[in-house]
Amino acid sequence: MPAIFKMTRQVEFAETDMAGIVHFVNFFRWMESCETAFYRSLELPLISFVPGQVVGWPRVNVSCTYRAPLRFNDTVEVTLFVKKLGTRSVTYLFQFCKEGAVVAEGEVTAVCVGAGEKGGMIAQPIPAAVRAKLQVAPPSAWGG
């Protein structure tokens, strides 16, 4: 039952601003990319369009704190920690590291939803198959 997932990527030129620093919005893209890779590693769908099954995981809270810049060609390790697992939601903590130093930390809380009768989203309990593959990381793993 994974609680931690890591991926490594190299900063692309298109991800930088006029100062040559990674534009802040890319950290949010990288968080989603890491979450997607995490779900793939668990062989779980991130989104399902099958009637009666999970439709998706809309975000209800996101944040990112920046400590040092990343630049073109830097290699960054993105680590996902399952910080909290609720009945209907999951909170991930993301750490972005360059050469072993944390340069940014992000957090995403997503709610498990299904399709309502009128096509809207309805919060629902996290399915047992998903919950069985998730485990909360100990705070000591992420410095909490």
- Domain assignment present for 144: no
User: What number of other Cβ atoms are within 10 A of residue 132's Cβ?
Assistant: 12
- Reading the block at residue 121, the tokens are 């989203």
Cα–Cα dist 61/65, whole Å: 14
CATH number for position 64: 3.10.129.10
How confident is the prediction for the chain on average, in pLDDT? 92
Q: Could you tell me the pLDDT band of residue 54, with boundaries at 50, 70 and 90?
A: low
Number of domains in the chain: 1
- Per-residue pLDDT at 48: 76
Compute the average pLDDT of residues 67-84: 97
Compute the average pLDDT of residues 31-48: 91
Report angle CA 101, 35, 129 to the nearest 5 degrees: 135
Q: Could you tell me the pLDDT band of residue 51, with boundaries at 50, 70 and 90?
A: low
**φ, ψ for residue 57 (rounded to 5)?**
-135, 75
pLDDT at 49 over 70: no
**What residue numbers bound the domain in which 38 lies?**
4-139
